[in-house]
A and B are shown apart, each in its own frame.
Chain A
Amino acid sequence: MTAPEPLLQVRGLVKAYHDRTVLAGVDLDVAEHEVVVLIGASGSGKSTLLRCIDLLEEIDDGRILLGGRDISDPRIDAEQARQAIGMVFQSFNLFPHMTALGNVALAPRVVHGRSRAEAEQRAHDLLARVGLESMANAYPDKLSGGQQQRVAIARALAYEPKLLLLDEITSALDPELVGEVLTLVGELATAGATIMMATHEMAFARDVADTVCFLDGGQIVESGSAADVLDSPRGERTQRFLQRFTAGR
């Protein structure tokens, strides 16, 4: 029996801004229901990799295949490809002129053609799932950072994406608010979501990650199970990076 084809395949991905190469040939597979955690120093290309996969950046070389289809081909409909991918950003990026409910119901309503009633019913369910049912009619500015980020997660889940990209979603949060967001991500992982996340939360990575990838200089220099990469890193660069984390504790 052959292994099923990975949901996401990244092959030789290169991305440069002007003459600064951010991604220098990234190869990566993400299987369905897998949780892949990207670690690495700031500027190592974690965010850029996620943005490239969500087609928010034009890539310079390589291919990105989702479900076997090359979504990085400029001839395909990028909007349709993005609809299969949900993304949550470091700075939440909620729409300030819409309520929490409006934010969550937007894509199902205007992209997927659901009726307003249907979209809002589903948005209510999702807000309940992230524990914010009572905040449905609040505008983002009235919510705490942790609450905003949970709304953003609900917004990304609203159209049932096959792949969820989480870009350092706890980096802009006060330390006491990090827990509520990570708990939610842990629940999603347990429920079988396919997740690719960039994070600096090593303890969390150890708990939920099926695979940990260490990015350095625009390349994945080491990847494997959380225990392998985090506890007994082989590469010298990985060791140095992780030392800074343990030293800081």
Chain B
Amino acid sequence: MTTVGIDRVVYRQSRARRSTLVALLSTVVFAGVVLVAVSSAPGWPRVRDSFFNLRIGWDSLPALLSGLWLNIRVLIVCQILVLILGLTLAALRTLRGPVWFPLRALATGYVDLFRGLPLLICLYLVGFGLPGLRLTGLPTSPVLLGGLALVLVYSAYVAEVLRAGIESVHPSQFAAARSLGLSYRKTMRLVVLPQATRRVTPALLNDFVALQKDCGLISVLGAVDAVRAAQIESATTYNFTPYVVAGLLFVALAIPSARLADWVARRSATRQGAL
């Protein structure tokens, strides 16, 4: 490298070091100002005691964690069922031929209904309405019924996301596959769907993060999950810290999913050479 090149590298490095130092300093100053402003505010001790009480938070942790474990189990089962049902619905909507008209119409109607229905109403109808029929053989567990309501609503969202993915695959891909002699179904299965699912993976994972939070709604049916546990702890201590802790637990649960979404998107991009 010539002296000109070396000189420029040295200059750029010194600029980079300077930028890091400035960013660090300004962050420290900013954090300090916020900390002083908040802690010197007149209401701060009361806010701290009712939302950030360390002792109450620590004491409520075991109950919250065992509730969260229920949420995680519900989440995993629901995720699998939502994916299966969502894929089935999306596939039904791509069927061609007059014979399939009723199934296509059914799938469309299903998506319209459950995408528009507020989750809370669905939870009440399934969770309180179904057991109210007193039919034999019907489960009465709030966990099962709550999970069922979640699957009904979320599979409609996932079906729409998948369908959008299918429609985003350019018609020329379809023409190329048909030109090779592939049947409609093989074209869908081998050419269109693989591209569609790869494209919508970030959107799907986004829906699953939303499902993660909404798993907490089964508490309205009486299931003792993290939200219900927080409610009980809060009621016995006259303090809101258990809610804050439960909220933070849900946030902590969502972060790995967000990173997973980033990683999946990056991996499929690098594999196809787009990066």
Residues of A at the B interface (CB closer than 8 Å) are 51, 54, 56, 79-80, 82-83, 85-87, 89, 91, 93-97, 106-107, 110-112, 138-142, 155-156, 159
Contacts and interface: CB of A to CB of B under 8 A. Distances in A.
Interface in B235-275: 271-274
A79 to B, nearest CB: 5
Contact of A93 (B172, B181, B183, B195): B172
Given A97-B272, A141-B272, A91 B172 contact: yes
A157 B40 CA distance: 78
27 contacts: A56-B178, A79-B181, A79-B182, A80-B181, A82-B178, A85-B179, A86-B179, A89-B175, A89-B176, A94-B176, A95-B191, A95-B195, A96-B195, A106-B190, A107-B180, A107-B181, A110-B182, A110-B190, A111-B186, A138-B273, A139-B272, A139-B273, A141-B273, A142-B273, A156-B179, A156-B180, A159-B180
A83 B173 contact: no
B173 A95 contact: yes
Given A93-B172, A97-B194, A106-B190, A54 B179 contact: yes
Interface in B197-232: 198
A90 to B, nearest CB: 9
A156 B172 CA distance: 15
A138 B190 CA distance: 18
B197 to A, nearest CB: 10
A110 B186 CA distance: 8
B253 to A, nearest CB: 31
Interface string B162-197: 000000000011011111111100100011001100
Contacts of B271: 139
Given A51-B175, A95-B176, 17 more contacts: A56-B178, A79-B183, A82-B180, A93-B175, A95-B173, A95-B195, A97-B272, A107-B180, A107-B181, A107-B182, A139-B271, A139-B272, A139-B273, A140-B272, A141-B272, A156-B180, A159-B181
A80 B173 CA distance: 19
A211 B54 CA distance: 88
A93 B178 CA distance: 12
Contacts of B180: 82, 106-107, 111, 155-156, 159
A89 B175 CA distance: 9
A93 B190 contact: no
Contacts of A107: 180-182
Q: Determine the main DSSP class of B at the interface with A.
A: helix
Contacts of A82: 178-181
A142 B275 CA distance: 10
Interface of B: 172-173, 175-183, 186, 190-191, 194-195, 198, 271-274
B179 A87 contact: yes
B272 to A, nearest CB: 5
A107 B177 CA distance: 8
B220 to A, nearest CB: 42
A177 to B, nearest CB: 18
Nearest to B181: A83
B118 to A, nearest CB: 38
A49 B230 CA distance: 69
B172 A89 contact: yes
Contacts of A91: 172
Contact of A96 (B177, B186, B190, B272): B272
A159 B186 CA distance: 17
B175 A97 contact: no
B196 to A, nearest CB: 10
A111 B179 CA distance: 11
A136 to B, nearest CB: 15
A52 B179 CA distance: 11
Nearest to B195: A97
A55 to B, nearest CB: 8
B181 A111 contact: yes
B158 to A, nearest CB: 21
A56 B175 contact: yes
Contacts of B176: 87, 89, 93-95
B184 to A, nearest CB: 9
Contacts of B272: 96-97, 139-141
When A and B form their complex, which 8 residue pairs have the shortest distance between CB atoms, in order from nearest? A93-B176, A83-B181, A141-B273, A142-B273, A107-B180, A87-B179, A111-B181, A82-B181
B179 A97 contact: no
Nearest to A109: B190
Contacts of B194: 97
Contacts of A138: 273
A97 B197 CA distance: 11
A25 B47 CA distance: 83
Contacts of B186: 110-111
Contacts of B274: 141
